[in-house]
Structure 1
């Protein structure tokens, strides 16, 4: 057997250790380089996902804004319609009030008495029972027929005629 040369073994170990150290450094450098590539790829993927999320959120926000705008416009149209209908109602009521006041004025002066009596007789015939309506105007009856020429009925008919004959007043 050969005797172990300690100095030679130490030198050999140093050579092997140096080689292992170089290999370990090379392998560590490769791992660091691979880890850097992996980190860069992960960062690129994270940026891509963040952009996709941001774009999806922006698209959802735009869609929500469009939906809210449709709702707001619908509410505005309904509010405008309510205002228009209210204004129409006020105009019709005012027209009815003025017509009723004018009929009442003419009734008090006696201007309508003969005219309404004649109208009732024309509608019901000469044998008709004609009398004064409560609140002014005339009513008449003949057989099963009845005619209402009261001031309230005349004013209501005037409003109905105006409402039906001028719908273009209410359209833009």
Structure 2
């Protein structure tokens, strides 16, 4: 279950989110351009192969050649679609990785102490004032109370930010 970020923490992270979205759009455009180029190459090669198969098939008979050509084109389209989906999946994984790296970089900024304070306060609001709050080695905090835990690590904050994008994330690499 997703937990909304309180207003003040959300506002403090807005510049990070904005930069993440800008960088993600830029990265996604580059990945999509490469995917489009690769897909075009696959389709061009498939069309060339289709023409060669059709020429040979005409010598063996129109009916057999047409069926073979259609099958080659269908296979080429499937291959191109599979490649596109693979590139989109890779783009999303790269987006997740880069977003996490950028949020982790907060640890090396002057405002990091303020981020830690807000994450700690948020965890205590959720678990109670007696919750044990521990700074995580990769940044952020983990809070524990009997039978409950709040993951306020920077990795979790980045993941939740991307999850909140939902279907909007796909617009980063849509043509």
Residues 92 and 159, structure 1, Cα contact 8 Å, conserved in 2: no
User: Aligned runs of 1:34-113 on 2, under 5 Å?
Assistant: 61-109=61-109, 110=112, 111-113=114-116
Q: Evaluate the alpha carbon distance shift between residue 154 and residue 78 of structure 1 in structure 2; reply closer, same or farther with a 3 A threshold.
A: farther
CA distance in 1, matches of 2:126, 2:70: 55
Alpha-carbon offset, residue 139 of structure 1 = 0.8
Residues 96 and 158, structure 1, Cα contact 8 Å, conserved in 2: no
> Which of residues 110, 122, 127 in structure 1 aligns to 2:125?
122
Report the counterpart of residue 17 of structure 1 in structure 2: none
1:141 and 2:144 are equivalent in the alignment: yes
**Larger relative contact order, structure 1 or 2 (CA cutoff 8 Å, min sep 6):** 2
Q: Evaluate the alpha carbon distance shift between residue 69 and residue 160 of structure 1 in structure 2; reply closer, same or farther with a 3 A threshold.
A: farther
Specify the SS of the correspondent of 1:112: helix
Alpha-carbon offset, residue 160 of structure 1 = 3.5
Q: TM-score, normalised by structure 1?
A: 0.54
Specify the SS of the correspondent of 1:131: strand
Report the counterpart of residue 52 of structure 1 in structure 2: none
Alpha-carbon RMSD: 2.8
Q: Which runs of 5+ in 1 are unaligned?
A: 1-57
> Which of residues 155, 159, 163 in structure 1 aligns to 2:158?
155
Alpha-carbon offset, residue 113 of structure 1 = 0.7
Q: Evaluate the alpha carbon distance shift between residue 74 and residue 118 of structure 1 in structure 2; reply closer, same or farther with a 3 A threshold.
A: farther
Q: TM-score, normalised by structure 2?
A: 0.53
Q: Which runs of 5+ in 2 are unaligned?
A: 1-57
Q: Which has the larger Rg?
A: 1
> Which of residues 131, 135, 139 in structure 2 aligns to 1:132?
135
CA distance in 2, matches of 1:160, 1:68: 44
Residues 136 and 150, structure 1, Cα contact 8 Å, conserved in 2: yes
Instruction: Work out the number of aligned pairs and report it.
Output: 115
Alpha-carbon offset, residue 131 of structure 1 = 0.9
Q: Evaluate the alpha carbon distance shift between residue 65 and residue 132 of structure 1 in structure 2; reply closer, same or farther with a 3 A threshold.
A: same
